[in-house]
Every structure is written in structure tokens, then in C-alpha cells.
Amino acid sequence: MLQTITRIPVAHYSNLKQRTGYSIKIADKEIALFKVTNGSVYALENHSPHPKGGVLSEGLVSGDYVYCPVYDWKISLIDGLVQAPDKGKVQTYIVEVEDDIIFIKI
Amino acid sequence: MKKLVMIGNGMAGIRTIEEILKLAPEQFKITIFGKEPYPNYNRIKLSNILQGDTSFEEIIMNPLDWYQENHIQLYTGEAVTTIDVEAKHVISDQGRVVEFDELIIATGSKSFILPIPGADKHGVTGFRDIQDCEMMIKSSENDKKAVVIGGGLLGLEAARGLLNLGMQVDVVHLMPDLMERQLDSIASSMLKAELESQGMNFLMEKETVEILGDERVTGLRFKDGSEIEAGLVVMAIGIKSNVKIAKNSGIYVNRGIVVNDFMETSIPHIYAVGECAEHREIVYGLVAPLYEQGKVLAHKICGLPVDPYKGSVTGTQLKVAGIDLYSAGEIVEDSSTKAIKVQNEFDGVYKKILIRDQNIVGVVLYGDTKDSTKLFRMLTKKEDVSGMTSVSLLQSETGEGGSGDVASMPNDELVCGCNGVTKGEIVEAIHKQGLTTLDQVSHCTNAGRSCGRCKPLVSQILAHTLGDQFDAAAAAKTSICGCTTLSREEVVAEIKAKSLTTVKEVMNVLGWNNEEGCTKCRPAINYYLGMIYKDEYKDDRDSRLVNEKIHANIQKDGTYSVVPRMYGGVTTAADLKKIAEVADKYDVPLVKLTGGQRIALFGVKKEDLPNVWADLDMPSGYAYGKTLRTVKTCVGAQFCRYGTQDSMALGIALEKKFERLDTPHKVKMGVSACPRNCSEAGIKDIGFVGIDGGWEIYVGGNGGVDLRPADLLYTVKTEEEVMEITGAYLQYYRETANYLERTSKWLERKGLDHVKEVLANAETRKALNERMDETLKKYNDPWTEAIQNEEIKDQYYAKHTIKVGE
Ligand SMILES: Cc1cc2nc3c(=O)[nH]c(=O)nc-3n(C[C@H](O)[C@H](O)[C@H](O)COP(=O)(O)OP(=O)(O)OC[C@H]3O[C@@H](n4cnc5c(N)ncnc54)[C@H](O)[C@@H]3O)c2cc1C
Ligand code: SF4
Ligand code: FES
């Protein structure tokens, strides 16, 4: 299957607060954007892999992890992996920051 | 969801459920029946209870909360009497009928009681459950003479316990050697000598034929005609699988319920696990193999691939202080085995290893069991020992013990036999999850959660793995979460002593190993800071979990519910109209009355919240918070013919005064105007009941998970007194409870008398109320704040939608 990658501007870097999740809708995809304490920005699918689901953007952010707000799963913002004892993976997206503009590659 | 029913609420069954929850948390609607009136407890520790080392509370493995959290319907004190395999349902002794798609039978076993005359007399018991233990403890208060029939593991552990209870104990054994199934005669005689020196008396090769006495036992008669006296008789000659219900329903039963390598019985969708199950003609009576069975069964039931269960080799240990023995595999030499033996009579050490074709097939160790895990590994892994000398087999490599042993231990060596946990798994968990306490290791790996004998070794591994960072005292206590080794008391003391003022500073200065904390510690620290600094503290909104951060309850689909305040459950036509209009305007999918006498709007989208609040123009009901939720009131003297007081007015006054206050957990109140108690004040955190000329104040009630009736704290005359006592009581709870500890648990921990004593002092009450009032100054309505503050709106409620191509 042919895949096209699009680069989409989503927010101004300086507008984002640290340790806060933002939910962004791009076409029909819901994405959670996080800026962490060291300034890095991550983008993940805004959906927990827990069988009952739930959004991630409202979760508590600690270092490079977010805790899913509904079932408290700990998820890595870097690679989307759910931390033990739970299992699973969240889709992650490449983020690029240029001149205060954050782009997501989809 | 498929319906899973389990009969039996014991160790093997619950472990199976734990495994299922790990594999597929949402696959089943689970119902469990347990004949005993308790949640799952650690049966192994009954020996320790009898020996006085632990208490009943401490051996609970899965508290009721656990069942609740995992949405398991548990019926305790209720036995299943019938399995209808055609209709696929079970029927309990209370007549309850529950359907199943899959059924697990985990009924365990019962003590085998000798079928001899008099076995049904008072004072004769098995040794199987809490009730048996209680009976023995009670007996020891009146009777001084006990007889234990059976010189196996259970019998000896029971006998040791009865000695500790101050009884004189005779152990009657049919065979010439004690524990003959686990020990050879040399080890057995060493054991007997040691137990005799501890005060046990043995009657060997005696067959009991009758139990004497009228209603109560007075003695035993043996086959040889001799008799002894006894006020208590404990039968510990073996166990019998509980198979009756299975048998009656047509499931194939031999000694136990016969299962294949996937724990399936002869009837599809019905499984058996634990001591009630017979696998390849063996019924196991130790937890390690049962837990292995549970793991296989869990995979099978969840439809996941798994290797078949092929049976287990078990190792045995005796839980009696001062005795160190271990045995596994074969015990007695035959023509095809060669033995390595070491006997040191002076030190009381005996070791024997049986080898067949280069493999270890049996181990008996007495007096020094340091090598047991190593030898057991070699036995189960069938390691080739031909290249090893007998000395290297029988000598711990680094003589001195301590952490040297741990360092040289291979990663695949079993550390916790009961739960099948290896050193490698423990080390990995410590590293990966940053564990620092024994508690955490047990929690993450299960190691140490059964008999507990591996705990010293797990501690050593923890110490070795952490190296310099290891802090022995800290490792043994319960910390507030995995990010720190500090307890609640220590964190609070440090905050005060070092004047720490923000969540971040607390984590930094107190050396959190996880720099930005987790969902357990951050909300807790935020609460403690607010409690300590009263109105000076600026709340850290991002350290709150979603509901308190957004000021609405998140639902499983990511929408929220909105519950406006209705003081005392009293509303007006105007407010009702507003609610109706909002529900209409925003297409609210569900409008429902709550248990706390107000109206909830369910299914509101996050981005609509500020507008919904603005349109409602009512204060937040804090239905999402660790704070005062509702004050439920009855209609009272204003309208009810029984009412003696104005319950609505008091309820409204209480709610207006204490609304928004941060508390360690949610707090609910109820006010009734007479003892008929229509507001159910007896199951509230604080309840008020009007009587002629005053109010009764009840505390510590709970209508939720831990159902608990409230205790009467005071009877007072005036509404002012009600306010004063309530303020002081609540503040004392705020200052001394652990975060997330409900008042019911807190009151039980502190003791009603203690709390009464504290509140009896007028000075203390005054000081508590002053601190309360100062705290109450800081609160504003969070909904109004959100409506008026663009920054808050943008950060917490805005939805950013981007169309591709723009
Ligand atoms: C004193 C003592 C010391 C022990 N020490 C050790 C040790 O050191 N090491 C070790 O590995 N093992 C030890 N054991 C054995 C271990 O406790 C058992 O192997 C284990 O508990 C068996 O688990 P189970 O789930 O099969 O049965 P159980 O734990 O007995 O659970 C079965 C449950 O099912 C309930 N039940 C039965 N019929 C029904 C029904 N019809 N409806 C509803 N409920 C029903 C029973 O009341 C019981 O609560 C010891 C046992 C005892 C009694
Ligand atoms: S509690 Fe008493 S006063 Fe209140 S409504 Fe019920 S009967 Fe009436
Ligand atoms: S060996 Fe029994 S709990 Fe670990």
C-alpha cells in the first residue's frame, strides 16, 4: 500500500504549557500533543490501548511518560509503549519544531 | 461479555483470576462463590497464626476492595450446591442461580477426618481454615492437653502452634518415622530429637481407634488398647479433595476432579484447578504447582496459546521456628540411584542428594538448607552433574553467606518456589520499575506473597541490586508510592521541617527516584501541602487527576458528567428549568438523579463544559472530588409529622460551610430529623440525627465498598455545637489521615476512643476549628473561574481542530 506522509502545522511551540496534554483533531484522527519538562514535544494517538479505551490528553505527565487518566496505565511518550505490568502500544507520530511552529508528520 | 463463574474463593482459584485479569482485563464478567465468610486469605499462614507470629488481618491477600476494583461479584459465606451442566448455571445454598459461559471449580480440599467412633465430638477438629484456628486458640484457654494425630507437615506445624498457645502436646503417628513422605529415617530422627527438645511428645506407631468422651472429647484409645487424655484433638492425617458437587453433576471424578493438561474436566467449558483437581493421577497439596496450573488455565480460558501443564516436582519446607529442613523429589535410594551424603552430627547437619543417570532426582537437607534453591534448580532443569564433585554440589560456593551468595546466583534460579519467580525476574523488575522496597517487589512479581519464606532472599537480592542506594529500614516499610521510600508521616514531617512549598520542590528535595512523580504521589503531595499551608498554598492543578483537574467526572467514552450543587438536596423550579434547558440545548444523552439527592447530566463534551456551566449558572457540586460531596437531608420538622428538628436547614448550613474543602478522600454527610433516619445518616462519613432537644452526631459510616455502620460520637444540644464538633472532627481527619483513606478506615485505625479524647479538649477543638476556617478562606467556585479565565479555558477545555490542507 502506498503511504503518503503529510507534514501538518498544529500549534505554536510557545503557546504550549509544560506537562500538559492537548487534544488535536487532524481530519478524522485525534492526536494528543504533550510538551514535557525538558521542552520536548511528543504526539501520540489520543487513545489508550486499554481494552476500555479512554483519552490520553487528560493524563498526568511525569518525565517522558503519561498516565492514562481512566485506568492509570503508564505510557511512554517516546515510543508509545505501555509500561509493565500492563502491555500494549500507542501509535506515535513524528514531531518537528521549526521557528516556534510545531509540525506533525502523518 | 462472557460470564465466568468460579466456585471456591481460595488461593489457587484467585491466583487464576489474577492471571486472567492480567491477560484480558475486560473479557469476562466474573462471579465468585466462597463458602468461607472472608475474602481470599493466605491459608499457608494459618500455621503462623497458630504459632502467634501474625494476625488474621495480616493474612488477607485480596481485600474486598480488590474484588470491587476488578468488578468481581463476590458472594462470601455462600456455597454452591448444584452445577447444572445442561442449563449452564450454578445454584447456591441461598437459592441464588448464576449462569455461566465458563466455570472454574476451585473448591480446594478439607481435612481428612478419621472415620472412627467419636470423631464428631466437640473438641475434635481438622486444620484447614480460619475457623479451625479460632477453635484451637479458644480451646487452649480452657484445656491444657492437646493431641495431634498425624506427624506430617501440617500436624507438626499445628503441634508447634499448640505448644506456643501453652498446651501440652502429644503427637500420635502411625508410622515409625515423622514426615516419612518427605524425609528419610536419618533426617526424620534428627527432626524428632529437635522437636522433643522443644517440648513435643511423640507416640509413634500408634493407631487411633476411638475418641473418648461424652459430648466433649476426653481422650483417645489406640489399637493396642492403651488410652491417653485429651481436651483437644487435631486431625492432620491428610486432605480430601472437595469433589462432591462436581461428582453429583456428572463430571468425571477419581480422587480429585480429573483434568487434562489444560485443566479441562470431562465436560466442556468446565475447568478445575487447585487441590480439588487431579492431574495425571496426582492431587497436589502445595501452592507452587497449583499456581502453575492457574497460569495454564488462565491462558486457556482467555483463548491464548500456552504450553500444556505437565505436572510439577515440589519442594517441601517445615514452618517451625528453629528447624531448617528441605526436601524435594525422591527420598529413598533404590538400585538405580547413587547417593551423596554428608552427616555432621556435631552441627546437626545432614544432606543427601540422590542421583540417577547424571541427574539429581532427590534432595533431603536438614540443619542447613542454603543450597536448596540451587539443588532444586538442578533437579527441575535436569542439569548434568557428572562433571561436578560432591563437594561443589554440597557447598555453597562462597562459604560466608550474605550477598555473596546472591551475586553468584544464576539468573534462572528460582527464588520464590511458591510463585515460580526467578532471580532474573526480580532483578529485572527492580531495574525496570525502579523498585526499592520488599513490598513493591512482592507486588510486581508475586515473590513472597505465599508462604513468605523467600522474603529474606528477596531482600538480599534487592540490597545487592540496588547497591549503595539500598536502605534496609526503608525497604521494609510502606512508602507512599514507588517513587520514594518515605512514608506519609515522613513526607509530612519533611515538608514542615524543610518548609517545602511546591509539589516539585518536595520531590526534588526529598530525592524522588522518579523526578516528576506518579499518579499516586503527586495528588497526595498536593493535598498535604494544601493541608499544611492552608490558604497560603496555591493548588497545583496539574498534579490532580483528570476529574479534579477538569472539575467534572470523566466517563469511559471521554465525555464528562456535570452535577451542580443542590444544597441539602433542595432545589427550585427556576433551577430545574435551567437544568432542563441545558440538557436540551447540549443534547445531553442522560439526565439522572444521583444517590446524593441531585441531578447529573451525563455525556457532556469537554469543550462544551464551560458553556454548560455558564448556562447553568450554579456552583459546582464537586461530584468528582476528594472533598465534601453531598449533605443528604430528610424533609424534617418543616413537613414531616415525626420530625423533631429542622434537618434541611442544618444540611444546607453544613454544605454551605464545608463545600469545596479538600479532604483526603470524599466525605458524605446525612441529616435526619428523627431516628427513623430517612437520609441514611448511619452510613455517612458524618451523620446527624435529630432527637428531642438536640442532635446525635455519628461518624465513620460507609455505604460503599467497606460497608460500615457509623459510631455515635456525641450528643449535643445546639446547631452551633454541631458545627463546632463537625469542624474539629473533619480537620483532625484532614490532618492525620493518609491520602485516599476514607473516614471509616481512618476511624478504625485511630480508634473511636482516641478521637473522642482528642475532641474532648476545648482548646484542641478551638485550634482545629481555627485551622479549618483559615483553610476554607481560599476556595472559589471552579466553574465560575473557568468561565471567566481564558487561559484556563484554553489549557483545559479547548479542542483544537485542524483540517488537512490548510
Ligand atoms: C495450615 C496449612 C499450612 C500450609 N502450609 C503450606 C506451605 O507451607 N506451603 C504450601 O505450598 N502450601 C501449604 N498449605 C497448602 C495450601 O494452603 C493449599 O495448597 C492451597 O490453599 C490450596 O488452594 P485451593 O484454592 O486449591 O484451595 P483452598 O485455598 O482451600 O480454597 C478453596 C475454597 O473453596 C471453598 N469451597 C469449597 N467448596 C465450596 C462450594 N461448594 N462453594 C463455594 N466455596 C467452596 C472453601 O471453603 C475454600 O475457601 C498449607 C495448608 C494449610 C491448611
Ligand atoms: S427521618 Fe424522621 S423526620 Fe426525617 S423524614 Fe424520616 S421520619 Fe420524618
Ligand atoms: S517461596 Fe513461598 S512465598 Fe516465596
Ligand nearest to the CA of B289: 1
Could you read off the pLDDT of B660-706 as tens digits, one per residue? 999 999 999 999 999 999 999 999 999 999 999 999 999 999 988 77
Distance CA B271, CA B13 (A): 11
Sheet of strand B80-84, all strands in order from the earlier edge strand to the far edge: B80-84, B89-92, B97-99
Q: Do the bridges between strand A20-26 and strand A65-67 make them parallel or antiparallel, or are there none, so unpaired?
A: unpaired
Q: What percent of chain B has pLDDT over 70?
A: 97
Mean pLDDT of chain B: 91
Choice between B348 and B242, residue whose per-residue pLDDT is larger: B242
Q: What percent of chain A has pLDDT over 90?
A: 30
Q: Is B107 in the pocket of ligand 1 (CB under 6 A)?
A: yes
B415 CA: distance to closest CA in chain A (Å): 20
Q: How many Cβ atoms sit within 10 Å of the Cβ of residue B760?
A: 10
pLDDT at position A105, please? 86
Decide if B550 and A17 are in contact by the 8 Å CB cutoff.
no
Question: Which residues does residue B349 pair with via DSSP β-bridges, in sequence order?
Answer: B344
B657 CA distance to ligand 2 centroid (A)? 23
Mean pLDDT confidence for B540-557: 89
B522 in contact with chain A, both atoms CB, cutoff 8 A = yes
Choice between B487 and B766, residue whose per-residue pLDDT is larger: B766
Could you read off the pLDDT of B436-463 as tens digits, one per residue? 888 888 888 889 888 877 887 888 898 8
Ligand 3 pocket, residues with Cβ under 6 angstroms: B 416-419, 447-454
pLDDT at position B453, please? 77
B522 CA: distance to closest CA in chain A (Å): 9
The confidence band for B737, taking pLDDT boundaries of 50, 70 and 90, is very high
Alpha helices, DSSP H only, in chain A? none
Q: Looking at beta carbons, which residues of chain A come within 8 Å of B517? A: 62
The confidence band for A1, taking pLDDT boundaries of 50, 70 and 90, is very low
CB B300 within 8 A of CB B307: no
Q: What percent of chain B has pLDDT over 90?
A: 69
Q: Which of B433, B554, B802 sits opposite A8 (nearest CB)?
A: B802
CB B780 within 8 A of CB B742: no
Q: What is the largest CA-CA distance in chain A?
A: 40
Q: Is B103 in the pocket of ligand 1 (CB under 6 A)?
A: no
On the question of pLDDT at B735 being above 60, the answer is yes
Helix (H, G, I), strand (E, B) or coil at B753: helix
pLDDT at position B309, please? 95
pLDDT at position B663, please? 96
Distance CA B693, CA B758 (A): 25
The DSSP symbol for B624 reads: T
Q: Which of B433, B516, B799 sits opposite A62 (nearest CB)?
A: B516
Q: Do the bridges between strand B28-34 and strand B73-76 make them parallel or antiparallel, or are there none, so unpaired?
A: parallel
CB B95 within 8 A of CB B190: no
Identify the CA nearest to B195 among candidates B163, B149, B173, B165. Answer: B163
Decide if A84 and B444 are in contact by the 8 Å CB cutoff.
yes
Decide if A55 and B558 are in contact by the 8 Å CB cutoff.
yes
- Amino acid letter at A82? V
Distance CA B277, CA B259 (A): 7
Spatial neighbors of A15 by CB under 8 A, at least 6 apart, are none
The confidence band for A41, taking pLDDT boundaries of 50, 70 and 90, is very high
Mean pLDDT confidence for B199-214: 94
Spatial neighbors of B595 by CB under 8 A, at least 6 apart, are none
Mean pLDDT confidence for B614-635: 95
Can you read off the three cell numbers belonging to residue B219?
A: 481422650
Residue B37: burial class (beta carbons within 10 Å; 0-12, 13-18, 19+):
exposed
Helix axes B488-497, B521-533, angle to 10 degrees: 50
CB B609 within 8 A of CB B546: no
Q: Which ligand 1 atom minimizes the distance to the CA of B15?
A: 25
Q: Is B8 in the pocket of ligand 1 (CB under 6 A)?
A: yes
Best residue among B291, B416, B438 to mutate for probing ligand 3, ranked by most atoms within 8 Å of CB = B416
Residues in chain A: 106
Distance CA B531, CA B551 (A): 20
Distance CA B375, CA B328 (A): 9
pLDDT at position B54, please? 80
Decide if B800 and A10 are in contact by the 8 Å CB cutoff.
yes
Mean pLDDT confidence for B779-806: 81
pLDDT at position B660, please? 95
The confidence band for B557, taking pLDDT boundaries of 50, 70 and 90, is confident
Among A15-29, B212-226, B368-382, B481-495, top mean pLDDT goes to B212-226
Q: Tell me the pTM.
A: 0.58
* Strand ranges (E), A27-78: 29-35, 41-45, 60-62, 65-67, 74-76
Q: Which of B444, B542, B804 sits opposite A8 (nearest CB)?
A: B804
pLDDT at position B398, please? 41
Decide if B518 and A37 are in contact by the 8 Å CB cutoff.
no
Residues of A with CB under 8 A from a CB of B: 6, 8-11, 17, 19-20, 22-27, 37, 50-55, 58-63, 67, 69-70, 72, 74, 83-85, 106
How much of chain B is in helix, strand and coil states, percent to nearest 5? 35, 20, 40
Ligand nearest to the CA of B317: 1
Distance CA A23, CA B194 (A): 70
B531 CA distance to ligand 2 centroid (A)? 36
- Amino acid letter at B653? A
B690 CA distance to ligand 2 centroid (A)? 9
Q: Looking at beta carbons, which residues of chain A come within 8 Å of B543? A: 60
CB B50 within 8 A of CB B164: yes
pLDDT at position B410, please? 86
Residue B720: burial class (beta carbons within 10 Å; 0-12, 13-18, 19+):
exposed
Q: Looking at beta carbons, which residues of chain A come within 8 Å of B516? A: 19, 37, 61-63
- Which of these ranges, B389-398, B501-510, B724-733, has the smallest mean pLDDT? B389-398
Q: Which of A11, A24, A51 sits opposite B25 (nearest CB)?
A: A51
The DSSP symbol for B738 reads: P
Identify the CA nearest to B592 among candidates B623, B557, B547, B550. Answer: B623
B804 in contact with chain A, both atoms CB, cutoff 8 A = yes
Could you read off the pLDDT of B45-80 as tens digits, one per residue? 999 889 887 888 888 899 888 898 899 999 999 999
Q: Do the bridges between strand A92-98 and strand A41-45 make them parallel or antiparallel, or are there none, so unpaired?
A: antiparallel
Distance CA B202, CA B177 (A): 11
Per-position DSSP letters for B14-55, written without gaps between them: HHHHHHHHHH-TTSEEEEEEESSSSS-B-GGGHHHHHTTSS-
The confidence band for A7, taking pLDDT boundaries of 50, 70 and 90, is confident
Mean pLDDT confidence for B470-475: 63
Mean pLDDT of chain A: 86
B643 in contact with chain A, both atoms CB, cutoff 8 A = no
Choice between B245 and B450, residue whose per-residue pLDDT is larger: B245
Q: Is B274 in the pocket of ligand 1 (CB under 6 A)?
A: yes
Q: Looking at beta carbons, which residues of chain B come within 8 Å of A83? A: 433
Q: For the range B784-789, what are the long-range contacts, defined as Cβ-Cβ under 8 Å and sequence gap of 24 or more?
A: B784/B613, B784/B619, B786/B551, B786/B609, B786/B610, B786/B613, B787/B610, B787/B613, B787/B614
Nearest residue in A to B523, CA atom:
A60
Identify the CA nearest to B681 among candidates B693, B664, B660, B695. Answer: B695
Mean pLDDT confidence for B300-329: 90
- Ramachandran bin of B472, using left for φ above 0, alpha for ψ from -120 to 50, beta for the remaining angles: alpha
Q: Which of A6, A62, A72 sits opposite B804 (nearest CB)?
A: A6
Decide if A19 and B433 are in contact by the 8 Å CB cutoff.
no
pLDDT at position B526, please? 95
Can you read off the three cell numbers belonging to residue B238?
A: 491428610
A24 CA distance to ligand 3 centroid (A)? 49
Best residue among B239, B249, B287 to mutate for probing ligand 1, ranked by most atoms within 8 Å of CB = B287
Ligand nearest to the CA of B315: 1
* Core vs surface per residue B724-758: b (16+ CB within 10 A) or e: bbbbbbbbbbbebbbbebbbbbbbeebeeeebeeb
Ligand nearest to the CA of B688: 2
pLDDT at position B631, please? 96
On the question of pLDDT at B468 being above 80, the answer is no
On the question of pLDDT at A89 being above 80, the answer is yes
Distance CA B432, CA A85 (A): 11
Cα–Cα distances (Å) from B544 to B175, B503, B712, B795, in that order, read 65, 11, 34, 15
Q: What is the largest CA-CA distance in chain B?
A: 102
pLDDT at position B273, please? 97
Distance CA A24, CA A38 (A): 22
Q: Which of B514, B557, B800 sits opposite A63 (nearest CB)?
A: B514
Ligand 2 pocket, residues with Cβ under 6 angstroms: B 634-636, 640, 642-643, 647, 672-674, 676-678
pLDDT at position B403, please? 42
The confidence band for B722, taking pLDDT boundaries of 50, 70 and 90, is very high
Decide if B542 and A61 are in contact by the 8 Å CB cutoff.
yes
B721 CA distance to ligand 2 centroid (A)? 22
Identify the CA nearest to B364 among candidates B343, B381, B347, B382. Answer: B343
Residues in chain B: 806
B790 in contact with chain A, both atoms CB, cutoff 8 A = no
Decide if B22 and A67 are in contact by the 8 Å CB cutoff.
no
Please work out, in degrees rounded to the nearest 5, the angle formed at the alpha carbon of residue B266 by the alpha carbons of B265 and B270. Answer: 45
- Ramachandran bin of A72, using left for φ above 0, alpha for ψ from -120 to 50, beta for the remaining angles: left
Nearest residue in A to B69, CA atom:
A71
Q: Looking at beta carbons, which residues of chain B come within 8 Å of A20? A: 542, 795
A28 CA: distance to closest CA in chain B (Å): 9
Ligand nearest to the CA of B314: 1
Helix (H) or strand (E) holding B666: none
Could you read off the pLDDT of B128-186 as tens digits, one per residue? 999 999 999 999 988 899 999 999 999 999 999 999 999 999 999 999 999 998 999 99
Side-chain-side CA neighbours of A89 within 13 Å: the count stands at 5
Spatial neighbors of B633 by CB under 8 A, at least 6 apart, are B568, B569, B570, B597, B647, B648, B650, B651, B652, B670, B671, B672, B679
Mean pLDDT confidence for B76-92: 95
Q: Check whether the bond before A85 is cis (ω within 30° of 0).
A: yes
